[in-house]
Amino acid sequence: MISTNDMRPGQTLELDGDLYTIVTYQHHKPGKGGAMVKTKLRNVKTGSHFEKTFRADEKVQLALLDKREMQFLYADEDGFIFMDSETFEQLLIGRDFIGDLAGFMKEQLTVEVQMYQGVPIGIELPATVDLVIAETEPGLQGDRSSAGNKPATLETGAVVQVPLFLDEGETIRVDTRTGNYVTRVR
């Protein structure tokens, strides 16, 4: 249990049997009455957001998460197979759980898996990953500026917008949070 005065963004709380991550936190002292703590919470399972106000110094249950560094090994029809970097145990995580992040999952990629009571509840990729362009239209001769973009299919199957001068076989850096092209990797 922690006091609401000690809450910070990024912490995970257990409220009414569900897990919620604190997105924003604001301590508020109105002119009359006691102080309050206004929070915006995200449900870990559903991803839905809502706002909740607590009394200052109210006690809430902090969920103790186990963050494990794991390496992505491969994907099959059941899901994605990860290996714990310390114990070498393998863990199967379903395709529904990975969702849109699957487009950035390259074999041997090291990720952080958040576990609660032995069950994975979150996965965090590195901020950027380097991927090879598997398919894209050829660039136009003489158009070597960054004035336009074209779609490119990456080795993982993800499609991102890249500058016109990039061709198949080139390696690019992609931001995993936004899914945007960052730079060409030489």
DSSP 47-74: --EEEEEEETT-EEEEP--EEEEEEEEE
Q: Are residues 107 and 132 in the same domain?
A: no
Residues of the domain holding 115: 66-124
Residue 96's pLDDT band, with cuts at 50, 70 and 90, is confident
- Count the neighbouring beta carbons within 10 Å of the beta carbon of residue 1: 7
Q: Are residues 96 and 116 in the same domain?
A: yes
Determine the number of helices (DSSP H) and then strands (DSSP E) in the chain: 1, 16
pLDDT in tens, 22-53: 889 898 888 888 889 999 998 888 878 999 99
CB 135 within 8 A of CB 160: no
Half-sphere CA count of 13, side-chain side, radius 13 A: 25
For residue 27, what is the domain's CATH number? 2.30.30.30
* pLDDT higher than threshold 90 for residue 81: yes
pLDDT in tens, 61-72: 988 888 899 999
Least confident of 13-17, 88-92, 140-144: 140-144
d(CA 66, CA 73): 21
* pLDDT higher than threshold 80 for residue 145: no
For residue 161, what is the domain's CATH number? 2.40.50.140
* pLDDT higher than threshold 60 for residue 161: yes
CB 109 within 8 A of CB 129: yes
When divided into structural domains, the chain yields a total of 3
Q: Are residues 46 and 79 in the same domain?
A: no
